[in-house]
Amino acid sequence: MIINFSSSPPSSSYSFTRFINSKSPISDFPSKPKTHFSKYPSSSNFNQYSSSNPSFHTKYRFFRDNGRYPHGKGESFKTCALSGFDLSGFESAQSVLEAAAVLTAIIVVHESGHFLAAYLQGIHVSKFAVGFGPILAKFNAKNVEYSIRAFPLGGFVGFPDNDPDSDIPVDDINLLKNRPIFDRVLVISAGVIANIVFAYVIIFAQVLSVGLPVQETFPGVVVPEVRAFSAASRDGMLPGDIILAVNGIELPKTGLNLVSEVVGVIKNNPRRNVMLKVERGKQDIEISVTPDESSDGTGRIGVQLSPNIKFSKVKPKNLTEAYNYAGHEFWGLTNNVLDSLKQTFLNFSQTASKVSGPIAIIAVGAEVAKSNIDGLYQFAAVLNINLAVINLLPLPALDGGSLALILVEAARGGRKLPLEVEQRIMSSGIMLVLMLGLFLIIRDTLNLDFVKDLL
């Protein structure tokens, strides 16, 4: 998570998007970690109408309980983590580029919202930059400098309001600071609006092109893997078995904690028989398993467990159905992002360590890109929604902070706060964001597997 500054003062707002990197509970049994966004996901990112930069924190919900339609309150299964991310190989390099392209496109859309809202109202704009840092290429058109900068993880729109080198008179009505409150609110909020619209467009494109993934839940818990020479192997369990009951208690068809419940019974019964009703093929059989005792005194049988779910895709029959599918999916993802944000604030001490920066976003996005196109669509949609939601928070350095200052101005009967006070408020927020961003970039980089191998 990095942030860059426009040459113009804080007549621009700094935005900040968050992603939650949550992990589904995994049993203590030896298991093979899996990463999928497409089979499973709340986030941090910087952006603003004067500057943008990403950071990350999210709990995704990509698949929903099955019904006729792919919507509803879904379950979260797994997210990907930085650990295990490998940059080696052509496929990984390609997926990194795809993830970086998605992130850059989202930032460009956000900044374009600010830019177009100003430009179409005749408000003076001096700069539009993709990236931050040293300029790699630039051109000028209609008194606006368009540039591509060295680090493509941010962007900004610059306004000449307080630029000492500007030839525009300070009382020019087309300077942003001299416009009515409504005009300024529109410019500041346009980035958020652009991301919301873009998120819907992405989901609509997914619905039309590949369809929406739908999750159907079945009774029991699947055993994808059985370790050789383990208690499960010794007592006759096979990969592909489905556990339907434990000690005579039938497992329900749905439930977030089915795997945890089975794990709990096994852990609590070291060296004691556990009766499992197992579906194998078209037959139900009873298997008595005696868990081995772990070093901590708990039982284990040496299997990997996962929910008994199957995935399919549903495609609309007509445009009306497509709009309905996309709308339900959009609101479902939005509710998930809002719920994640709420949980983050309510349990900040537990979730703060999961906030990550642009390195983490690209790492996660690359893993998604290597999985399948479904995950990449929803990864992009969730990033947009996160960016929009976070930017509305009334905090300094965010679009919401600038909107809050305008509300204060409106409450004061149109009298602005002194410029020095506004600059002090925005500068303090920007410095905090900058320090946090630098910390997250360093931490996330050190967490990459190939970096760990070098150290």
Query: Which residues participate in catalysis according to the annotation?
Result: 111
Tokens of 71: 């919507």
Residue 169 corresponds to which amino acid? P
Q: Quick one: tokens of 294? A: 């772990």
Helix (H) or strand (E) holding 432: helix 419-447
The whole-angstrom separation of Cα 78 and Cα 306 is: 11
Residues 6+ apart with CB under 8 A from 179: 121, 123, 173, 187
**Phi, psi at residue 84, to the nearest 5°?**
95, -5
Which residues lie below 8 Å from residue 405, measured CB to CB, with a gap of 6+? 417, 422, 425
Structure tokens at 33: 């970690």
CA distance 266 to 276: 11
Helix/strand/coil (H/E/C) assignment for every residue in 183-220: HHHHHHHHHHHHHHHHHHHHHHHHHHHCCEEEEEEEEE
Instruction: Say if residues 13 and 48 touch (Cβ distance below 8 Å).
Output: yes
Rounded-to-integer distance, Cα 286 and Cα 278, Å: 6
What are the two backbone dihedrals, phi and then psi, of residue 55, each rounded to the nearest 5 degrees?
-145, 180
